Amino acid sequence: MKVLTVVSHPRQDSLTFAVADRFVQGLVAAGHEYEILDLHRIGFDPVLQGIDEPNPSLEEQSFSPEVEKEMARMKEHDALAFIFPVWWWSLPAMLKGYIDRVWNNGFAYGANHLHHQQVLWIGLSGITEQQMKKRNYDQMISHLLNVGIADYCGVNNSRVELLYETLGSQPEHYDQLLEHAYQLGLNYGKEQ
C-alpha cells in the first residue's frame, strides 16, 4: 500500500516528527511505501481563499494550483495517515486548513469521494488519558475525525490513535511512545 503521511508541526525536531519517523519505519518494515508531507516545510497556506471556496452547485470545480497539486498527490496514494499535536482538543490550524482546502467539494465529498482504503489519525496529547476522558474529549475527537471528516468523505475505515503525556515525560515514556508509533506503522492495514 502507498501511504501518504501528513505531518503538521512547526518544528522538525519535535516529538511529532519523531513519531512520524518511527511510524514510517514501521510501514517500511511491513512492506508499504510512503511519502511524508510536511505541511510547514512546503509552506502550505491553510487559509481558504475565494478560488478554493466549495461551490455545492457545481459537480466539478477548479481550484487554486496549490490545492490541485495536493489533490493530485492524494490520488497517488492508497491510504492516509495524519500525525499531529492535539491543540485545543482538535487539529492544529495548519492541518485543519489543509483539510478545509484540499478535501474539497467534488473531490472528497459531493459528486465524488476519496478513494483511500483507510485513514489513521495519530494525535499527540500533552495530558493523561484520564484527563482526556474526563469530559469525553477522546470520544469527541474520534467522532469528529472518523465520522465528521473521514466517513463523510467516503473513507469508513478510519481510526484515531491518541498518544498521551507527550510533554515533559521521562525518556522511557518517550521510548514507549516511539515504539507504539512503530507498531502502528508495522500493523497499518491489519488491525483497522
Query: How many Cβ atoms sit within 10 Å of the Cβ of residue 115?
Result: 12
Type of residue numbered 125 = S
Range of the domain at 44: 2-50+63-186
DSSP codes joined into one string, 78-144: SEEEEEEE-BTTB--HHHHHHHHHHS-BTTTBTT-----S-EEEEEE-SS-HHHHHHTTHHHHHHHI
Q: What is the pTM of this model?
A: 0.96
Q: How many domains does the chain have?
A: 1
Question: 192 in a domain, yes or no?
Answer: no
Q: Are 48 and 103 in contact (CB under 8 A)?
A: no
CA distances from 85 to 52, 53, 124, 166 (A): 26, 26, 4, 9
Rounded CA-CA distance 117/52 in Å is: 25
pLDDT per residue of the chain (192 residues) written in tens, 0 to 9: 999 999 999 999 999 999 999 999 999 999 999 999 999 999 999 999 999 999 988 877 899 999 999 999 999 999 999 999 999 999 999 999 999 999 999 999 998 999 999 999 999 999 999 999 999 999 999 999 999 999 999 999 999 999 999 997 788 999 999 999 999 999 998 865
- What was the pLDDT predicted at 191? 63
User: Domain of 108: which CATH number?
Assistant: 3.40.50.360
How many CA atoms lie within 13 Å of 43's alpha carbon, on the beta-carbon side?
A: 1
